Amino acid sequence: MADIKFTEDEKALIVRKIQLYFTEELKQEIGRFDAEFLLDFFSGEVGPYFYNRGLYDAQAILSSKLEDLGDAIYLLERPTEFRK
């Protein structure tokens, strides 16, 4: 898996959300540099867990849809000597 990377705009928005969280929930100020450092830490250490969970969820949805497709194809089959 490649590193999780954000555009500059995405990173700025996430950093601002981190700063707001610290201010509103923890009643502490956190500078931009520290918020970026925290984002980098979570992206590298925690991000893969969220990424993998997203992959597992996507795989489950795809598997379900493929099963539905298989059932739909089965219903299209015509009776033959092999299947009545």
Which of 78, 72, 81, 2 shows the shortest CA–CA distance to 44?
Answer: 2
Question: With DSSP H G I counted as helix, E B as strand and the rest as coil, what are the percentages for the chain, rounded to 5?
Answer: 75, 0, 25
| The pLDDT value given to residue 81 | 85
80 secondary structure, DSSP code: -
Domain hosting 30: range is: 8-76
Residue 18 resides in a domain: yes
* 66 in any annotated domain: yes
Tokens standing for residue 75: 């219903």
Q: Supply the DSSP symbol for 6.
A: -
Residue 47 falls inside a structural domain = yes
Position 82 scores a pLDDT of 79
> Is residue 83, in this structure, part of any structural domain at all?
no
Per-residue pLDDT, 83 = 63
What is residue 84's predicted lDDT score, i.e. its pLDDT? 56
Residue ranges of the chain with per-residue pLDDT less than 70 = 1, 83-84
Is 40:29 a contact under the CB 8 Å cutoff? Answer: no
